[in-house]
Amino acid sequence: MLAVDLTTAMVDAKIASACGAWVVALFLIVGALIDGIALRVPNWLTFSMIFLGWVTSGALLGWTGFWASLSGTLVGLGLLLPLYAIGGMGAGDVKLLAGVGAWLGAAHTLAAFVVSAIVGAILALVLALWHRQIGQFATNLRLIATEIVVVRNPGELAELAAARKRRALLLPYGIPIALGCIGYLIYQGMLP
């Protein structure tokens, strides 16, 4: 069970509302479009998003805002970095969620990530159904789960993922991140 400190949640809410969910949505839309076309989220986009989130939060809310923004960035990195380490996604996807954290703070980033993960699972299933590869999708899921439990070495897991990637259906994960985060912002009333 994850307990969120009330003070942190209040600061996160201030950051999200004061810094503008529209800016986050714009960065996410651009990132998703580029990822959908090029299968990568560029550094110029993610680093700009992170840096502007820190600066804006610090300028509007002082050191409290800056530290909350920094903690949100670390949460965003921490949530996806393990998947990157085993070859499950690209570094741009990790930095995109870190950028969300820089703007929304830790608590909102965690919640938006959960929504994004659900959206990603649904999109992966739809993609497999669309390409009539649901059997291969299920086999890959079992294989990946088994490899994580048995192999455990991130380097070896990344090599296995790279070998599998050549023949797998690819879902640019910037798209589920964008859809999930924007959906979360709308649901929370931060993005009317």
Q: pTM for this one?
A: 0.83
User: What is the reported pLDDT for 3?
Assistant: 46
Q: Are 100 and 180 contacting, i.e. CB atoms less than 8 angstroms apart?
A: no
Measured CA to CA, the distance from residue 145 to residue 162 in angstroms comes to: 16
Domain ranges of the chain: 6-184
Q: What is the DSSP letter of 166?
A: T
User: What is the reported pLDDT for 13?
Assistant: 55
User: What is the reported pLDDT for 149?
Assistant: 73
Burial of 177 (0-12, 13-18, 19+ CB in 10 A): buried
> First vs last Cα of the chain: how many Å apart?
31
User: What is the reported pLDDT for 18?
Assistant: 45
User: What is the reported pLDDT for 178?
Assistant: 97
Measured CA to CA, the distance from residue 9 to residue 103 in angstroms comes to: 13
CB neighbourhood size of 109 (10 A): 31
The sign of the torsion formed by the CA atoms of 145, 146, 147, 150 equals positive
Torsion angles phi and psi, residue 41, rounded to 5: -110, 115
Q: Which amino acid is at 91?
A: A
User: What is the reported pLDDT for 6?
Assistant: 47
User: What is the reported pLDDT for 135?
Assistant: 80
Q: What is the pLDDT of residues 100-140, one digit of tens each?
A: 999 999 999 999 999 999 999 899 899 888 888 788 777 77
User: What is the reported pLDDT for 7?
Assistant: 52
Q: Which residue stretches of the chain have pLDDT < 70?
A: 1-19, 144, 148, 152, 157-158, 160-162, 165
Quote the strand ranges of the chain, DSSP E: none
Measured CA to CA, the distance from residue 154 to residue 91 in angstroms comes to: 15
Measured CA to CA, the distance from residue 36 to residue 29 in angstroms comes to: 10
Q: Which residues of 43-57 are buried (b: 16+ CB within 10 A; e: fewer)?
A: eebbeebbebbbebb
User: What is the reported pLDDT for 147?
Assistant: 73
